[in-house]
Structure 1
Amino acid sequence: MAKLRLRPHCKIQTKLPQEEVLDLIREKLTEEKDTVNGQVVQAHAFLRIPEKDPHYWSPELHVWVREQDGSTIVSGVVGPNPKIWTMFMFFYFVVLGLTFFGGVYGIIQWQLGMDAPFLWSIPAGIVGILLVFGAASFGQNKGKDQMLLLRGFLDRAIGVEE
């Protein structure tokens, strides 16, 4: 996880047919139910940390499987619980919205030669975005071991060499 990403991605290409890949994931979920919980629905798999091990920052791995050009592409996106993801997106949009509208209002006041205290919304917004991003990065780092566990499970399920 050297790169800073909001939601890390993975992509695996295999010669196995799509249904076989999904069956392998189903079988592995049954075998390792103490390690990883999840379900397979149509061409998607949702992998989670079991009820006994999660914490606030526990990641989930959403996998989708599609056939393309004679091979099967297994794509995955790691992210927090959807409620937490929604909360962070809400914080980002609120901070960005307040920064934008406060900044525009402050610039208009400044252009009209008035006192422009709303210009402070620009540096305050930058600090706000950095705080939200820092909290998200902290959570991502806290869930790193579980993220690697989910990715390792996926690799083992479809037989990828480590």
Structure 2
Amino acid sequence: MEEHKNSDIHLRPRFKMGFDESQDCLISKFEDNLKDGNCKYCSKIVDGHIVIDVPVGENHFWSPQLNIEIEKIDSEKTIVKGLFGPKPQVWTLFMFFHFAVAVAFIGFAVMAYVQWSLKSDYTFSLIMVIALPVLWIVMYFLGSVGKRKGHKQMDELYEFMMKTLEK
């Protein structure tokens, strides 16, 4: 097994591993392990895509989700790609806020330039042009705090996946 991980600066860590087993064999390992009565994780399996969620009782706003893609290279070789991230609702909310801040920044920058070129008061626009990147940085650090809060659960999901793949 060969594993590649990206750096820790990303909010959504990714990894990639190569296996000398067929795609169907790896998928059946997950199906068997997830159907086991002792398995506490919620999941969905569609073709080569597996989504594993934290148990409902342990779930909180920052709980991660593990998305696994099992890709067939040939009859006996596969690549397992994984992505840790927040639930889709949380990710969508964060992306909406990032988009709104970016649009507001562009709007206030244009407004500041127009007011400056018309020689009118552009103080508010300039304050917003400075404040919005600060807000963006605060949102980035909030995401990092959320990632840290869900890190233990991320480790548990990763351990569950590795135990499943090593069977």
TM-score over 0.5 for the alignment?
Answer: yes
Q: TM-score, normalised by structure 2?
A: 0.88
Q: CA deviation at 1:113?
A: 2.8
Q: Is 1:136 matched up with 2:156?
A: no
Alignment of 1:39-118 (within 5 A): 39-68=44-73, 71-117=77-123, 118=125
Q: Which residue of 2 aligns with 1:157?
A: 164
1:118-150 Cα distance to aligned partner (Å, 9 max, x none)? 122221111110121121111110000000111
8 Å contact kept, 1:9–1:75: yes
Which deviates the most, 105-114 or 79-88?
A: 105-114
Counterpart residue identity of residue 135, structure 2: G
Q: CA deviation at 1:2?
A: 6.6
Separation in 2, partners of 1:87, 1:56? 12
Identity within the alignment, %: 29
Q: Which residue of 2 aligns with 1:30?
A: 35
What secondary structure sits across from 2:80 in the alignment? Answer: strand
Aligned residues between the structures: 159
CA RMSD of aligned residues (A): 1.8
Q: Is 1:8 matched up with 2:18?
A: no
Separation in 1, partners of 2:64, 2:10? 14
Which deviates the most, 148-157 or 100-109?
A: 100-109
Separation in 2, partners of 1:151, 1:104? 46
Counterpart residue identity of residue 66, structure 1: E
Separation in 1, partners of 2:72, 2:110? 48
In structure 1, list runs of 5 or more residues that go unmatched: none
Separation in 2, partners of 1:74, 1:108? 52
What secondary structure sits across from 1:52 in the alignment? Answer: helix
Q: CA deviation at 1:25?
A: 1.0
Q: CA deviation at 1:15?
A: 0.9
8 Å contact kept, 1:11–1:74: yes
The equivalent position to 1:127 in structure 2, one of 134, 146, 149, is: 134
Q: CA deviation at 1:39?
A: 2.1
What secondary structure sits across from 2:56 in the alignment? Answer: coil
8 Å contact kept, 2:64–2:86: yes
